[in-house]
């Protein structure tokens, strides 16, 4: 059993080397990895967590929210996979990953909180995921002189919190 757990832990660490596909598609040289993005979301959750949202739960969700991508890849709209199929693929992958790690149902439930935005924590992490994208777009726009406003606009379209919208706009 411990060999299976170790292998899955090592597999998931590959997120550190998986580049974010949206940035690759936009022409960003040496873009952040999926793991770096997850850290960015966790950072935003930790420092911006509002009252009524459990910071520990939300931070855990932020850390695990993209783990399935180690098996399915970082799927973007450019890949032509509809959102229902993307969700199905990611759900199947995350169930297998968590099963290999001992079947902790609570982690799957937290992942579902994010995916389905069914709790305040899940909704807040989803919002921070969009804010992270907008902030990263701003950084890349300045560093590489690229027009990445489409990423900021995409984030703004999904953010309804006034504070997070102002932060995304810059």
Q: How far apart are CA 160 and CA 25, in angstroms?
A: 27
**For residue 19, what is the DSSP state?**
B
**What confidence score (pLDDT) does residue 1 get?**
60
- Residue ranges in the chain assigned as alpha helix (H): 2-13, 21-25, 34-48, 55-64, 69-72, 83-100, 105-115, 120-144, 149-158, 162-169
Torsions phi, psi for 118 (to 5 deg): -95, -5
User: How would you write the pLDDT of the chain (170 residues) with one tens digit per residue?
Assistant: 689 999 999 999 999 999 999 999 999 999 999 999 999 999 999 999 999 999 999 999 999 999 999 999 999 999 999 999 999 999 999 999 999 999 989 999 999 999 999 999 999 999 999 999 999 999 999 999 999 999 999 999 999 999 999 999 98
pLDDT at res. 170: 85
Whether 159 contacts 145, CB under 8 Å = no
Rounded distance, CA 59 to CA 45, Å? 6
d(CA 16, CA 33): 6
Architecture of 2-120 per CATH? Answer: Orthogonal Bundle (1.10)
The separation between CA 9 and the C-alpha centre of its own chain, rounded to angstroms, equals 18
Number of other residues whose CB lies within 10 A of the CB of residue 95: 14
Which pLDDT belongs to residue 2?
A: 86
């Amino acid at each position: 059993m411990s060999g299976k757990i170790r292998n899955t832990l090592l597999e998931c660490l590959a997120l550190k080397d998986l580049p974010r596909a949206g940035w690759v598609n936009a022409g960003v040289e040496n873009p952040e990895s999926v793991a770096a993005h997850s850290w960015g979301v966790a950072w935003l959750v930790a420092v911006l967590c509002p009252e009524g949202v459990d910071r520990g739960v939300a931070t855990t969700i932020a850390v695990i929210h993209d783990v399935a991508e180690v098996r399915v890849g970082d799927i973007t709209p450019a890949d032509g996979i509809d959102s229902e199929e993307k969700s199905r693929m990611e759900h199947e992958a995350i169930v297998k990953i968590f099963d290999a790690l001992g079947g902790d149902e609570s982690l799957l439930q937290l992942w579902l909180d994010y995916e389905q935005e069914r709790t305040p924590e899940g909704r807040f992490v989803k919002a921070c995921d969009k804010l992270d994208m907008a902030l990263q777009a701003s950084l890349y726009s300045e560093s590489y002189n690229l027009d990445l406003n489409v990423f900021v606009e995409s984030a703004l379209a999904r953010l309804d919190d006034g504070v997070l919208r102002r932060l995304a706009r810059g």
